[in-house]
Amino acid sequence: MLFCRRFFYLSIFVILCLGLFGQNKSICAEPAGGKNGNKIVFQWAFCALRKADADQKPSVIRRNTALKSGDQIKFFIKPQSPCYLYLIYQSSQRQLSLLYPSRFKQLDAGGTVSGKQYIPDGNQWFELDEHTGQEKFYLLVSIQRLVDLETLVNQYESADKTKKSSLGFKITGEIRNLRKRHLKFKTYAEKPVTITDNLRGGEQTVSVHTKDVADYAVEISTTTFFSRTYTIDHQQE
């Protein structure tokens, strides 16, 4: 009789342990951050100062546009959730430059960028040179660090001229692969950012004369991955 009691209590103990283990496994399997752990929210602006415009008021770049030598461009980013941001430029000669981050070491200490980011910094703007043709800007935002892309960019930056062309094709190929891989996350929402009682972004005209590109930002929200390519038809002045 004593043996039966011990076996009974042991059985109950095992069942309880298995039940607790199953509950803990379920909790641990949930992604960090809960249901919103894969959500990306950030503010973004891409603006140009056209040399021909008398008032020199920034205009918002929306995907594809024509600019001329001497025109200036600037970017703004403000992450509102943890994410990894990459901005890559391809010249009309198909040369690639990493515009953001300036070095991947910036991501090592915790990863994600925070606060307002101007590209380039401060009051500086990029100016289009005399080399005309099609130029591209690749924006990629991810909940996960894009290690393979970083590796290719590092190889490109340290390679000699004879290898840069093939590595450049690999980088643009990796960007295409990332897009295909994340096709199911293509849906996103975009809305103007409210600043000083005026709506910025969208199709509305900015009523306040300002050269701060942050005033022209839109808020983009999506899950897991976001990408956008801007194509510039760079023309002679």
- Give the whole-angstrom CA distance, residue 202 versus residue 219: 10
Q: Domain of 197: which CATH number?
A: 2.70.50
pTM of model > 0.85: no
* pLDDT bucket at 113, cuts 50 / 70 / 90: low
Q: How many structural domains does the chain have?
A: 1
pLDDT class of 105 with cuts at 50, 70, 90: low
Identify the bridge partners of residue 77 per DSSP, sorted by sequence position.
44, 117
- The answer to whether residue 159 is domain-embedded is no
Residue 4 lies in a domain: no
Residue 97 lies inside a defined structural domain of this protein: yes
Question: Is 6 a member of any domain?
Answer: no
β-bridge mates for residue 41, sequence order: 221
Evaluate whether residue 88 is within a structural domain. Answer: yes
In a domain, 103, yes or no: yes
Locate the DSSP E strands across 69-132: 72-79, 84-90, 96-100, 117-119, 126-127
Give CA–CA dist 206/199, Å, rounded: 8
Of 168, 136, 96, the closest CA to residue 234 belongs to 136
Place of tokens 């924006």: 139
157 lies in some domain: no
Strand partners for 189: 221
The two three-digit tokens of residue 205, written as one number = 């005209």
Residue from 128, 106, 109, 127 nearest 117 by CA = 106
Do residues 57 and 63 lie in contact, with contact meaning Cβ atoms separated by under 8 Å?
no
Q: Which domain holds residue 119?
A: 39-145+185-235
pLDDT digits (tens, 9 = 90+) for 139-182: 999 999 999 999 999 999 999 999 999 999 999 999 999 999 98
**Is residue 201 one of the residues assigned to a domain?**
yes
At 219 the three-state DSSP class reads: strand
